[in-house]
Structure 1
Amino acid sequence: MKNIRKIVFSVLVLSLVISQLLILMPKNASAAAGDDPGTTITAPENISSRQQVELTVTLASSSGHLDEDGYINVQIPNFIVANKQDIVNQLYIDAPFYLEDNPLKEDENGNYILKVNYDHTKIDQESAAGQTFTVKFKAPRISSEDTSFPSTVSFSSTLFKGTESVSKDSATSQIRTDNPGLPLLEKRSVQSHKVIDGVNVALMSKDDPSANVFAILVNYNQRHITNAKIVDTTPQNTQLANPQKYVPASGDNTPSQHFRIAKVTGWGDDGLPNAWEYVTSDFANKINITPTGFSIDLGELTPDDSYVIMYAEKVDDNITSSEFGVRYNHVDLTSNDAIIKSAESAIALDTEDYNYTQLTKNVDKPVIATSDSSLVYSLSLSNQYGTIPAGTKIVDPLPEYTTYDKTIQIDSQYLSNGVYDATTKTITYTLLKDLNMGESTNVKFAVNYANPDAKANDKIINKAYISYAGTDIYSASVTTTVANSAILVKKDTNTKAALAGAVFNLIDENGDTVLKDLTTDSNGIVRTGVLKPGSYKFVETKAPASYLLDEKPVPFTINYGDTKAVTLEKDNAQSTSVSGQKTWMDNENIAGQRPENITIDLYQNGVLLDSKKVTADDNWSYSFADLPKLDTDGKEYVYTLKEEPVAHYTTIQDGYNFTNIFVPTPPTPVPPVPTPPAPVPVPPMPTPKNPTNPIIVVPTKTVIDSDDTPESLPKTGDDTPLDALLWGLFLTVLASFTLLYQNKK
């Protein structure tokens, strides 16, 4: 007994340990379908030859559970797909789903992987969300003779939140093979097949009638038939059309009355035909078109006469899938006008496509060129088939930066007045009575767009949907693109060539600088971006290299609701410059006669244009910039410089350079001061005695008259005139400076 208790106790302890280990074990990232968030996939129970396979994939989550972007990978074995392009081409998705470039790839195991991304910002995080899309493709012909086909095929969908796999589901279909046999009469269709109302139908294309190919196989079991004839009844609302290629036949494939007829010319080891030759021309006169179909007289058929008759059918454009329903293409094989075999093919239009086309949306302005504009949206609700019940709502969530203004036009017989929810920015119209097949109703309403931060190439995207019975069917999106408000083109005045590198500021009507340093590109274009309505002007702040700056403003106006950019032009004239250097030859101004400044005059075609004071602060250099290079006739101006005279200097001009040479001023001659003659000593007069009788002497002057003029003596080196000496010195200095200047050159 004790042993039993020990055993039971040990089992309980072991169970407890195992359960705790299981709790502590990490969870598998690939969870079962139905997770939150989760994905599911459903597939047909059976897949047969040329069937349209439809895989329904769902994404579901509670509020806030899909808080980052992710994707769903749908895995499809490639052997069950006739044309892989169908997977993408027949896929319809809407927000939050989208496809990146090259969404369909093939893995190393031979599976197609369709990657469908979702944008979590398009999912209401405050509500439970459920989204569904359908993957459609045509299966290939599945013959029982082809042993490569397995008995089942599996599909899967895997949900990735970010890069983490959070949910996975799978579905399996049974594969049904054809029993090829060798029929006496058989009608085949190459289109995708689908079960509608319990009938396996060929889905007709309204876009490409030549793809709606029907093939009638006659006498493949190689019998003898007398007076054989094919009598075919085609469905209403269809017409004959030229078919695409069906069998790889040789010979002339030119159709006759939309028919191609090929004869079997070869049989394989498996007993099936493997070669054909076109014989259409042999039966061209035996084809009879009737109001209800056609007949072809094949004549006497021997075991060597096996044929395939090919044609296509076009469905009327104006018929809907519900109107067309399921119809039958019936054929009889007669012998001596007695029916010996019948066959038929059921046809229909696909009814499972996403019905967004029932609600059509348009916008009056595909482009606006301002940050503020009105937009008029129009909605047309049309019923393709069945009945759209009263109470159905047309809901239009308005784009960002738009607000509802007013309803402009409404069909009050069918639609209520619009109800605008300012919180959700949604306008809703309600259907007042049933909208029957072929009926439609329309509404137009205006919104105001205002986005002060709008950028060129911003998109204003809007779509509406109808909601009833829990299903939202969306219209196609309409887009308004925001464009640049103004464009300025900079050109050469004479050649009209585009000029890059011009710089502008944009000034508004208040004198405020809105944009700075807008620079023209290689095409000479500068763009303003998106502006609000108002008056503006371009002001050039920097000219292109080698061009004159033109500061004259270029005004323009942006109006509310403009639909295209204002285009402006501004020309620039080519510029040139003149510069030179002043050189002084005055022994570093030893004489102190150099002036503080000089004046250089600029002449344009010989006419004084400008003057400039030049000083030592300028390093005695000078320039005249931003001069027009060409006149109005495109001829170059001739610019010359002249220096105004400078005292004490003589000027030598070399092009635009000037050399000033100091010229000393000769001293003024000073006349010699005569030296007075030395005084002649006068001997003392004796003191006479007082004579008794003094003698008075009267002086006398002797005047000698002569006709002789004194001769001038010849001058010698002992008496050199001062002025001759100074002039000689000046000439010597001038010659020395000239020689020195020439050596410098």
Structure 2
Amino acid sequence: MKNIRKIVFSVLVLSLVISQLLILMPKNASAAAGDDPGTTITAPENISSRQQVELTVTLASSSGHLDEDGYINVQIPNFIVANKQDIVNQLYIDAPFYLEDNPLKEDENGNYILKVNYDHTKIDQESAAGQTFTVKFKAPRISSEDTSFPSTVSFSSTLFKGTENVSKDSATSQIRTDNPGLPLLEKRSVQSHKVIDGVNVALMSKDDPSANVFAILVNYNQRHITNAKIVDTTPQNTQLANPQKYVPASGDNTPSQHFRIAKVTGWGDDGLPNAWEYVTSDFADKINITSTGFSIDLGELTPDDSYVIMYAEKVDDNITSSEFGVRYNHVDLTSNDAIIKSAESAIALDTEDYNYTQLTKNVDKPVIATSDSSLVYSLSLSNQYGTIPAGTKIVDPLPEYTTYNKTTQIDSQYLSNGVYDATTKTITYTLLKDLNMGESTNVKFAVNYANPDAKANDKIVNKAYISYAGTDIYSASVTTTVANSAILVKKDTNTKAALAGAVFNLIDENGDTVLKDLTTDSNGIVRTGVLKPGSYKFVETKAPAGYLLDEKPVPFTINYGDTKAVTLEKDNAQSTSVSGQKTWMDNENIAGQRPENITIDLYQNGVLLDSKKVTADDNWSYSFADLPKLDTDGKEYVYTLKEEPVAHYTTTQDGYNFTNIFVPTPPTPVPPVPTPPAPVPPMPTPKNPTNPIIVVPTKTVIDSDDTPESLPKTGDDTPLDALLWGLFLTALASFTLLYQNKK
């Protein structure tokens, strides 16, 4: 019994001592890593000029130990931060972390304090929990000439459970200076970054190889290098690809063997380059592709020769993220074949644990057929695992030639109203509250597309991203293709065969000629290109060879937002022509009877179709062109010509040719003037009349059968008509002989 009492007494005394010690311990006492619950912070061993600094902060606890809300304060000395906005803007946090309003403050000692809250209800209290987030920011230029920089910098993280300080950790980095502060060689990647297996990697896109841009900065610190050469080793299962735009360089941006090379042509007051010019063509024959990478012979580099070499890489389609792992894109800068500087960039494929968040983008019009249109983009943010914290921003940089119009549909429970920045042409929506596993939210907004210089097959490409302050997760690209506004198909009226060579003008609603000499191709098609909305008409100005010209306009209308081309048809009938020559046989119009004009009548299948006056100005030739060759049943028309009668001429016809022969008009006979009889002198009366002598004529009787019906007339009794007809026949014979001689 005594022993039991002694044991109980000893336990009570020990408990009292321990309790007093705990009471005397200050509440803000530091705790080493491994506290439960606890926080740790790690920092890079070295920090150099303009480096992206990454501080990894962890929160760990046993089951049930984080049973109330709290926060972690991350302390960062302000002198090591180039832009304090990076601390928040490039922060990637997941459940259970979130940020309150104005999470970044500055204390009296010149330290930035980032307050990262955690929601204990988002932590499984039945299990051990461990979460990690990374604070990222860019270091300023650290020059050896600037003595204000210390040799080291320290960071800390402090965990508060409720308002109680329960854990604290710190980390120190060495500060490395650059001289003069710009790299001799550096390899950069523009892709989203993520820590995989402790390595900060660039995430490669398998969907858009051109987005996997790598930039090699050469001689930015402006040194003199003899026989400079870049030797790059690219990872396995990758191939070179053309890169997207990286720097705003002037000049020809045409890639050579998937490379663009730009030379620095201007420097700002801060010592940074601010202007570039493409010089790819200068090095086109200096690029050597190998089985393991490539090399580029830069030759003699002077302090004025600073370059950025840009290219992209495509990852094999059949490789998985686990098979690819973490690989390195390594580059060496050599001088006289000796390595003087190396750099590398780690790359990987995104892993499944990173894909719990999905941002999906769609467009309502995959094709438009006008230079002016509305487009409605939809964004869907869904969460498959974990939590997307409130404050996450959905950012959509709008394509060229588009402007934000309005938000047409929004889930106001989760998303803020869109904020449009007209300068950067971006629309931003902010998540108002956490988006948990299995939840999603959607927004739709309209933009106006207007490009007066749009060409058929132009692409309007757009993608959005979730901004986790430096970790930008992009949606897939959506593309709207600009198509021809109108297409006209020219066909044969009867056979419906395509007709090439028809020429059209395009007239707008104001009567102005918009396009001239649009010619149908071998498929009988003519395309307008991209038109603005309005009313138009095709007017044929030249028919295909062998076809009738049809000047009847073909009207059509282009509406705002049309999604397909207006398709039109116009038929042409085959044509034929009839022509002939008039010939005169009138001894060069010696009689002056040739008319000033004649009339030729055209008959189609025996029905008068047309008439034409023909004159000497036409050289007495005539033609009827653009005549339909076939009827509606496809049978050929029969065309004949007739000449309307011409006075004083007879007409002969040979096919479509006519010959007119002059016919003189016989003169009107002139009756003879009668000669008055000579006067008969009076018979004198004899004084002595005598008996008259009477002579009785002898009568001769002639048989009636021998009596002629009439006797020929002779001498002055010849008729005038006979004489005139003789003259006419003589003249006609003369004209005939003369015409034959001319022929």
Q: TM-score normalised to the size of structure 1?
A: 0.51
Deviations 1:302-343 (A, max 9, x none): 999999999999999999989999999999999999999999
The worse-fitting range, judged by mean Cα deviation, of 273-282 and 492-501 is 273-282
The worse-fitting range, judged by mean Cα deviation, of 728-737 and 574-583 is 728-737
How far apart, in 2, do the equivalents of 1:659 and 1:187 lie? Answer: 94
Superposition deviation, residue 300 in structure 1:
69
Superposition deviation, residue 397 in structure 1:
1.7
Superposition deviation, residue 592 in structure 1:
0.6
Sort the Cα spacing of 1:73 and 1:648 in 2 relative to 1 into closer, same or farther, 3 A.
Answer: farther
Q: Report what 2:136 is aligned to.
A: 136
The worse-fitting range, judged by mean Cα deviation, of 334-343 and 616-625 is 334-343
Question: What secondary structure, in the 3-state scheme, does the structure 1 residue paired with 2:281 have?
Answer: helix
Are the counterparts in 2 of residues 320 and 385 from structure 1 also a CA contact under 8 Å? no
The worse-fitting range, judged by mean Cα deviation, of 719-728 and 497-506 is 719-728
Question: What secondary structure, in the 3-state scheme, does the structure 1 residue paired with 2:705 have?
Answer: coil
1:690 to 683, 688, 700: 688
Equivalent pairs, count: 743
Superposition deviation, residue 577 in structure 1:
1.0
Question: What secondary structure, in the 3-state scheme, does the structure 2 residue paired with 1:578 have?
Answer: strand
Deviations 1:333-369 (A, max 9, x none): 9999999999999999864999898433221111001
Superposition deviation, residue 454 in structure 1:
2.3
Sort the Cα spacing of 1:218 and 1:99 in 2 relative to 1 into closer, same or farther, 3 A.
Answer: closer
Superposition deviation, residue 729 in structure 1:
3.1
Sort the Cα spacing of 1:513 and 1:45 in 2 relative to 1 into closer, same or farther, 3 A.
Answer: same
Are the counterparts in 2 of residues 50 and 191 from structure 1 also a CA contact under 8 Å? no
Superposition deviation, residue 603 in structure 1:
0.7
Superposition deviation, residue 684 in structure 1:
12
Are the counterparts in 2 of residues 189 and 213 from structure 1 also a CA contact under 8 Å? yes
Sort the Cα spacing of 1:75 and 1:321 in 2 relative to 1 into closer, same or farther, 3 A.
Answer: farther
Superposition deviation, residue 243 in structure 1:
35
Are the counterparts in 2 of residues 52 and 192 from structure 1 also a CA contact under 8 Å? no
Are the counterparts in 2 of residues 356 and 475 from structure 1 also a CA contact under 8 Å? no
Q: Percent identity?
A: 99
The worse-fitting range, judged by mean Cα deviation, of 216-225 and 10-19 is 10-19
Deviations 1:556-594 (A, max 9, x none): 222221110011111111111111111000000000111
Superposition deviation, residue 137 in structure 1:
28
Question: What secondary structure, in the 3-state scheme, does the structure 2 residue paired with 1:16 have?
Answer: helix
Sort the Cα spacing of 1:185 and 1:29 in 2 relative to 1 into closer, same or farther, 3 A.
Answer: closer
Sort the Cα spacing of 1:705 and 1:184 in 2 relative to 1 into closer, same or farther, 3 A.
Answer: closer
Sort the Cα spacing of 1:399 and 1:249 in 2 relative to 1 into closer, same or farther, 3 A.
Answer: closer
Superposition deviation, residue 91 in structure 1:
25
Q: Report what 1:714 is aligned to.
A: 712
Sort the Cα spacing of 1:545 and 1:740 in 2 relative to 1 into closer, same or farther, 3 A.
Answer: farther
Question: What secondary structure, in the 3-state scheme, does the structure 2 residue paired with 1:507 have?
Answer: strand
The worse-fitting range, judged by mean Cα deviation, of 344-353 and 250-259 is 250-259
The worse-fitting range, judged by mean Cα deviation, of 147-156 and 622-631 is 147-156
Question: What secondary structure, in the 3-state scheme, does the structure 2 residue paired with 1:659 have?
Answer: strand
Sort the Cα spacing of 1:504 and 1:582 in 2 relative to 1 into closer, same or farther, 3 A.
Answer: same
- The 5 A counterparts of 1:620-631 are 620-631=620-631
Sort the Cα spacing of 1:501 and 1:137 in 2 relative to 1 into closer, same or farther, 3 A.
Answer: farther
Question: What secondary structure, in the 3-state scheme, does the structure 1 residue paired with 2:356 have?
Answer: helix
How far apart, in 2, do the equivalents of 1:415 and 1:569 lie? Answer: 50
Are the counterparts in 1 of residues 194 and 201 from structure 2 also a CA contact under 8 Å? yes
Q: Report what 2:168 is aligned to.
A: 168
The worse-fitting range, judged by mean Cα deviation, of 427-436 and 217-226 is 217-226
Superposition deviation, residue 662 in structure 1:
0.4
The worse-fitting range, judged by mean Cα deviation, of 648-657 and 727-736 is 727-736
The worse-fitting range, judged by mean Cα deviation, of 715-724 and 562-571 is 715-724
Sort the Cα spacing of 1:504 and 1:98 in 2 relative to 1 into closer, same or farther, 3 A.
Answer: farther
Q: Report what 1:207 is aligned to.
A: 207
Sort the Cα spacing of 1:92 and 1:196 in 2 relative to 1 into closer, same or farther, 3 A.
Answer: closer
Q: Report what 1:461 is aligned to.
A: 461
Sort the Cα spacing of 1:107 and 1:334 in 2 relative to 1 into closer, same or farther, 3 A.
Answer: closer
Sort the Cα spacing of 1:596 and 1:562 in 2 relative to 1 into closer, same or farther, 3 A.
Answer: same
How far apart, in 2, do the equivalents of 1:377 and 1:395 lie? Answer: 13
Deviations 1:678-727 (A, max 9, x none): 4xx99999999999999999999999999999997643477643322322
Sort the Cα spacing of 1:284 and 1:165 in 2 relative to 1 into closer, same or farther, 3 A.
Answer: same
Sort the Cα spacing of 1:675 and 1:146 in 2 relative to 1 into closer, same or farther, 3 A.
Answer: same
How far apart, in 2, do the equivalents of 1:431 and 1:198 lie? Answer: 29
Are the counterparts in 2 of residues 600 and 613 from structure 1 also a CA contact under 8 Å? yes
Deviations 1:65-100 (A, max 9, x none): 999999999999999999999999999999999999
Sort the Cα spacing of 1:670 and 1:229 in 2 relative to 1 into closer, same or farther, 3 A.
Answer: closer
Q: Report what 1:531 is aligned to.
A: 531
Superposition deviation, residue 633 in structure 1:
0.5
Are the counterparts in 2 of residues 51 and 194 from structure 1 also a CA contact under 8 Å? no
Are the counterparts in 2 of residues 186 and 217 from structure 1 also a CA contact under 8 Å? yes
Superposition deviation, residue 499 in structure 1:
1.1
Question: What secondary structure, in the 3-state scheme, does the structure 1 residue paired with 2:736 have?
Answer: helix
Deviations 1:413-464 (A, max 9, x none): 3321111223332211012233455554322211122233322222212122
How far apart, in 1, do the equivalents of 2:627 and 2:221 lie? Answer: 99
Sort the Cα spacing of 1:25 and 1:180 in 2 relative to 1 into closer, same or farther, 3 A.
Answer: closer
Sort the Cα spacing of 1:722 and 1:406 in 2 relative to 1 into closer, same or farther, 3 A.
Answer: same
Sort the Cα spacing of 1:13 and 1:487 in 2 relative to 1 into closer, same or farther, 3 A.
Answer: farther
Superposition deviation, residue 147 in structure 1:
49
Are the counterparts in 2 of residues 92 and 354 from structure 1 also a CA contact under 8 Å? no
Superposition deviation, residue 491 in structure 1:
0.3
The worse-fitting range, judged by mean Cα deviation, of 468-477 and 93-102 is 93-102
Are the counterparts in 1 of residues 88 and 469 from structure 2 also a CA contact under 8 Å? no
How far apart, in 2, do the equivalents of 1:551 and 1:126 lie? Answer: 85
Are the counterparts in 2 of residues 356 and 473 from structure 1 also a CA contact under 8 Å? no
The worse-fitting range, judged by mean Cα deviation, of 234-243 and 379-388 is 234-243
Are the counterparts in 2 of residues 209 and 313 from structure 1 also a CA contact under 8 Å? yes
How far apart, in 1, do the equivalents of 2:510 and 2:274 lie? Answer: 85
Are the counterparts in 1 of residues 94 and 388 from structure 2 also a CA contact under 8 Å? no
Are the counterparts in 2 of residues 421 and 427 from structure 1 also a CA contact under 8 Å? yes
Are the counterparts in 1 of residues 99 and 390 from structure 2 also a CA contact under 8 Å? no
The worse-fitting range, judged by mean Cα deviation, of 311-320 and 79-88 is 79-88
Are the counterparts in 1 of residues 90 and 471 from structure 2 also a CA contact under 8 Å? no
Deviations 1:494-540 (A, max 9, x none): 01011122222323334443333322222111112222223332222
Superposition deviation, residue 165 in structure 1:
54
Sort the Cα spacing of 1:551 and 1:81 in 2 relative to 1 into closer, same or farther, 3 A.
Answer: farther
Sort the Cα spacing of 1:295 and 1:361 in 2 relative to 1 into closer, same or farther, 3 A.
Answer: closer
Are the counterparts in 1 of residues 357 and 384 from structure 2 also a CA contact under 8 Å? no
Q: Report what 2:477 is aligned to.
A: 477
How far apart, in 1, do the equivalents of 2:297 and 2:686 lie? Answer: 201
How far apart, in 1, do the equivalents of 2:639 and 2:352 lie? Answer: 84
- The 5 A counterparts of 1:148-163 are none
Q: Report what 1:234 is aligned to.
A: 234
The worse-fitting range, judged by mean Cα deviation, of 145-154 and 296-305 is 296-305
Sort the Cα spacing of 1:469 and 1:510 in 2 relative to 1 into closer, same or farther, 3 A.
Answer: closer
Are the counterparts in 2 of residues 486 and 568 from structure 1 also a CA contact under 8 Å? yes
Superposition deviation, residue 256 in structure 1:
49
Sort the Cα spacing of 1:620 and 1:233 in 2 relative to 1 into closer, same or farther, 3 A.
Answer: closer
Are the counterparts in 2 of residues 323 and 385 from structure 1 also a CA contact under 8 Å? no
Superposition deviation, residue 648 in structure 1:
0.7
How far apart, in 2, do the equivalents of 1:160 and 1:726 lie? Answer: 146
Are the counterparts in 1 of residues 73 and 113 from structure 2 also a CA contact under 8 Å? yes
Superposition deviation, residue 218 in structure 1:
51
Q: TM-score normalised to the size of structure 2?
A: 0.51
The worse-fitting range, judged by mean Cα deviation, of 530-539 and 731-740 is 731-740
Superposition deviation, residue 379 in structure 1:
1.7
Sort the Cα spacing of 1:414 and 1:573 in 2 relative to 1 into closer, same or farther, 3 A.
Answer: same
How far apart, in 2, do the equivalents of 1:160 and 1:729 lie? Answer: 144
- The 5 A counterparts of 1:335-354 are 351=351
Are the counterparts in 1 of residues 95 and 389 from structure 2 also a CA contact under 8 Å? no
Question: What secondary structure, in the 3-state scheme, does the structure 2 residue paired with 1:332 have?
Answer: strand
Are the counterparts in 2 of residues 320 and 384 from structure 1 also a CA contact under 8 Å? no
Sort the Cα spacing of 1:361 and 1:115 in 2 relative to 1 into closer, same or farther, 3 A.
Answer: farther
